[in-house]
Chains A and B, each alone.
Chain A
């Protein structure tokens, strides 16, 4: 049982660090700290939870619907519906003020609670929890690998759904229906349709798919709390020489990034390997923040966890980290282009989860 393993790992570390109590915050956007402790996938409202060094967990939820759901979906923890969540948690922390307490993620904590840090005597332990979110147990790595299978299956459904005359939102509707039938509760997904005018991916806007369009997507199914991602681009009709040329550059960048991945290198090393391919093709400007966000990132209980794959990030990769390497960025000739594979970091290199071929797929026009 991964949730119990996670809790034991955390409480063992708390004992080692002389921490008695840890308070974590979560919402549906930034859920990883909360999920690590409670195994609850919150959807509406916000929650705070406390884990004590003996492994006992209490979660306070400000939504009655969520509290109802947590009672069923997060067995083995105390669930409290708390319309005045802050007061209830402050009181609980006040009762424990003679213990050594920490909190995470500090920047997301409600202001009123965080402002009482000194009074309630808790420390910012975001980095302490981050380490567990980044460097996973083998069972967690396998959970991400299982989610990757659904990313591959989902992409096959997506590819089959793309046809001239369809709207972008129809593709999302089809994928989400597929995932609900398969038991995938959540999926992070953005899309791009068109040519050089497309500068990034976003939710669907009602664009009609036409011949010659590039259709980009980032699919990120969640299975049992763990996300995995795939990024691919397809062309409607036969790929132009320019589109094929751009694909070859992105593929080379992806392969360079993946070839760099192994325990001991930094996230920055991986980003540099990807970006050098763009620079040698006179596309260096397109790997700056003007056109792209990151060259990959961690994945796990959050879609976009640390480490971010950027040249100035010196986080050392470790066995047990799960990442996506994706040299996604704008290209002035063909438009926004994506290609990315999920993987696990090992002592000897990358264990790539993604089984979908690295290809510029083409669908009939």
Chain B
């Protein structure tokens, strides 16, 4: 669930920015001959609806209808008692609380004159119950996959999103810096990260840990008193007002092991700064690894927000020809061995632009 700080700030996510995003999608819908676009959300698939409304459900599910013209309609299974809260964090569109969001939106579509063809984002993955209710409410309307149309409109990072991502990145970076030099357990390492992120406006944080990196590079969900190996890695996936990034950092308890870790961290930052759009990402990474002394590439992957998921893999060492687009979000994870020992790092960039720099965090005030 989402249990961190959730509040809409009109200066941070302006109504104008949300309207501009909706207008861009409506223009693409017109080109594609779509009379509406339906987008599903729950806290696992929050990103599309959040992009157009600033809203993420802490629980339960919902769908958003963006008509070809006019304002969106948001139908949610969250109950009426939280409608005041929803409206306080969702500044655009009409709200309907209903146990059957699909039925309500279907009936709205049917009632609108001239609606014949409606796109559904990630049509294949829409929960069947929602789809059945939608189709039953709107007999005669053709539903088609609207994913391509959505993705065309979603390309690029606007200034609003860039600012949110920078904040999210700072939460992850500074959160990971809260790990003590020699934490006594997994819980002692992870607890302060989580606390920091939640104290500084984080909407959510997921953490993964490879507690003995020399033995196993896989990052798992673990907490409590389990001991840590000499070298371990922590992945913090953070959300600030719906903008998600990941950062992974490798730690070592030994004082004399800090220098190669520092070298690898600096190398990753330099790599991110140097990534060029329109050129093979795999080759760019391989070329950079070749310049890092005593390093060997073990694997890499690139993630981005391209649909309803906050982050999804868009390329990896298995698809080395991938060429990143200018101005797109990438979260790059790289696994190396350096001086014969494992290292994992991950950080976000907007391709062709600056690497995110730290922004001043402030605790949310009343």
Residues of A within 8 A of B85 (CB): 200, 202, 205
Q: Is the CB of A69 within 8 A of B125?
A: no
Residues of A within 8 A of B89 (CB): 205
Q: Which of A86, A185, A200, A207 contacts B124 (CB 8 A)?
A: A86
Q: Is the CB of B365 within 8 A of A206?
A: yes
How many interface contacts (CB-CB < 8 Å) are there between A and B?
188
B152-209 interface (Cβ within 8 A of A): 185, 187-188, 190-192, 194-195, 198-199, 201, 203, 206, 208
Residues of B within 8 A of A278 (CB): none
Residues of B within 8 A of A208 (CB): 366
- Within the complex, the shortest CB–CB distance from A202 to chain B, in Å, comes to 4
Residues of A within 8 A of B60 (CB): 29
Say if the beta carbon of A107 comes within 8 Å of chain B.
yes
Say if the beta carbon of B278 comes within 8 Å of chain A.
no
Residues of B within 8 A of A110 (CB): 124-128
Say if the beta carbon of B82 comes within 8 Å of chain A.
yes
- Within the complex, the shortest CB–CB distance from A165 to chain B, in Å, comes to 10
A52-74 interface (Cβ within 8 A of B): 63-65, 68-69, 71-73
Residues of A within 8 A of B195 (CB): 173-174, 176-177
- Within the complex, the shortest CB–CB distance from B15 to chain A, in Å, comes to 19
Say if the beta carbon of B131 comes within 8 Å of chain A.
yes
From B60, B190, B206, B218, name the one whose CB has the most chain A CB atoms within 10 angstroms. B218
Residues of B within 8 A of A290 (CB): 80-81
Nearest CB in chain A to that of B225: its residue: A183
Residues of A within 8 A of B364 (CB): 167, 169, 206
Given contacts A180-B223, A183-B225, A114 and B188 within 8 Å (CB-CB): no
Nearest CB in chain A to that of B206: its residue: A43
Say if the beta carbon of A284 comes within 8 Å of chain B.
no
Say if the beta carbon of A189 comes within 8 Å of chain B.
yes
- Within the complex, the shortest CB–CB distance from B366 to chain A, in Å, comes to 5
- Within the complex, the shortest CB–CB distance from A336 to chain B, in Å, comes to 8
Given contacts A108-B128, A108-B129, A182-B224, A68 and B219 within 8 Å (CB-CB): yes
Comparing B2-10, B109-117, B269-277, B320-328, the segment that makes contact with chain A is B2-10
Q: Which of A65, A177, A190, A206 contacts B219 (CB 8 A)?
A: A65
A184-206 interface (Cβ within 8 A of B): 184-185, 187-190, 199-200, 202-206
Residues of B within 8 A of A202 (CB): 6, 58, 82, 85
Say if the beta carbon of A289 comes within 8 Å of chain B.
yes
Q: Is the CB of A173 within 8 A of B198?
A: yes
Say if the beta carbon of A45 comes within 8 Å of chain B.
yes
- Within the complex, the shortest CB–CB distance from A305 to chain B, in Å, comes to 14
From B89, B191, B301, name the one whose CB has the most chain A CB atoms within 10 angstroms. B191
Q: Is the CB of B127 within 8 A of A72?
A: no
- Within the complex, the shortest CB–CB distance from B217 to chain A, in Å, comes to 8
Residues of A within 8 A of B84 (CB): 199-200
Nearest CB in chain B to that of A169: its residue: B5
Q: Is the CB of A43 within 8 A of B188?
A: no
- Within the complex, the shortest CB–CB distance from B284 to chain A, in Å, comes to 21
Chain A 145-186, CB within 8 Å of chain B: the 1/0 string?
Answer: 000000000000000000000010110111011111111110
Q: Is the CB of A111 within 8 A of B125?
A: yes
Q: Is the CB of A69 within 8 A of B198?
A: no
Instruction: Give CA–CA (A65, B333) in the complex, Å.
Output: 11
Chain A 69-100, CB within 8 Å of chain B: the 1/0 string?
Answer: 10111000000000100100000000000000
Residues of A within 8 A of B225 (CB): 183
B26-51 interface (Cβ within 8 A of A): 42-45
Nearest CB in chain A to that of B195: its residue: A177
From B44, B311, B313, name the one whose CB has the most chain A CB atoms within 10 angstroms. B44
Q: Is the CB of A180 within 8 A of B194?
A: yes
Q: Is the CB of B125 within 8 A of A205?
A: no
Say if the beta carbon of B19 comes within 8 Å of chain A.
no
Say if the beta carbon of A315 comes within 8 Å of chain B.
no
Q: Is the CB of A190 within 8 A of B129?
A: no
Residues of B within 8 A of A106 (CB): 128-129
Say if the beta carbon of A41 comes within 8 Å of chain B.
yes
- Within the complex, the shortest CB–CB distance from A298 to chain B, in Å, comes to 16
A291-325 interface (Cβ within 8 A of B): 291-293
Q: Is the CB of A73 within 8 A of B366?
A: no
Residues of A within 8 A of B80 (CB): 289-290
Residues of A within 8 A of B61 (CB): 29
Residues of B within 8 A of A177 (CB): 191-192, 194-195
Q: Is the CB of A173 within 8 A of B194?
A: yes
Residues of B within 8 A of A69 (CB): 208, 218-221
Nearest CB in chain B to that of A69: its residue: B220
- Within the complex, the shortest CB–CB distance from B165 to chain A, in Å, comes to 18
Q: Is the CB of A29 within 8 A of B223?
A: no
Given contacts A27-B42, A110-B124, A203-B3, A68 and B363 within 8 Å (CB-CB): no
Closest 9 CB pairs of A and B: A183-B224, A107-B129, A114-B128, A173-B198, A200-B81, A112-B124, A181-B187, A177-B195, A202-B85
Report B's interface with A, CB cutoff 8 A: 1-7, 42-45, 58-61, 79-82, 84-85, 88-89, 123-132, 185, 187-188, 190-192, 194-195, 198-199, 201, 203, 206, 208, 216, 218-225, 235, 237, 301, 309-313, 316, 363-366
| 27 residue pairs bridging A and B, Cβ less than 8 Å apart | A29-B43, A29-B60, A43-B206, A43-B221, A44-B309, A46-B44, A68-B219, A69-B208, A72-B218, A106-B129, A107-B128, A110-B125, A111-B127, A111-B131, A112-B124, A112-B125, A167-B365, A169-B201, A172-B198, A173-B194, A181-B191, A185-B222, A188-B59, A203-B203, A204-B6, A205-B6, A289-B80
If A43-B221, A206-B5 are given as contacts, then 9 extra A-B residue pairs at C-beta distance below 8 Å, sorted by A number, are A28-B44, A29-B60, A45-B44, A45-B309, A72-B216, A180-B190, A182-B187, A190-B3, A203-B3
Report A's interface with B, CB cutoff 8 A: 27-29, 41, 43-46, 63-65, 68-69, 71-73, 83, 86, 106-115, 167, 169-170, 172-174, 176-185, 187-190, 199-200, 202-208, 289-293, 330, 336
